[in-house]
Amino acid sequence: MKPSKWRGLVGAASDGFLEFDSPLLGVRAGFINLFQTYYLRGFNTIEKIFDSNRVFPVYGDAGKGELYKKLVSEFTGINRYSLLSVDDVFKVGRAIERVEEGRNWVSDLSFVAGWKAAKMYLKL
């Protein structure tokens, strides 16, 4: 799905991050993107997702790939070479938010609701 078609999209911040009219819809879009661009295309480990970032640049600065992978692995408790389950992707999404924002700023309630909305959209 093209970013311009995201439900609830209101624009983009000066730093390039997309802005949504609710955290739930932002989380939903993030998970749909994570599944469609990476996970469902076989980028199903932390290592593969962030190595593929050179091809599909979404997460962080490509020059910080090693640090990004290390932090996501640490924050999730998942070995960066282990195959991710669908439920592991939830942990990866939360870790991405923490790496990108410096903290988890979306409430647990909104994050879980966005995750469930994305899973429903993707029929997972």
* pLDDT at residue number 67: 84
Take residue 31 and report the two structure tokens written for it. Answer: 């998970």
Please give the angle made by the CA atoms of 119, 34 and 26, to the nearest 5 degrees: 70
Domain parsing of the chain, residue ranges? 3-122
**CB 8: neighbour CB atoms within 10 A?**
15
Q: 99's torsion region: left (phi>0), alpha (psi -120 to 50) or beta?
A: alpha
Whole-Å CA distances, 118 to 42, 84, 90: 18, 17, 11
pLDDT one-digit tens code per residue, 69-114? 899 999 999 999 999 999 999 999 999 989 888 888 899 999 999 9
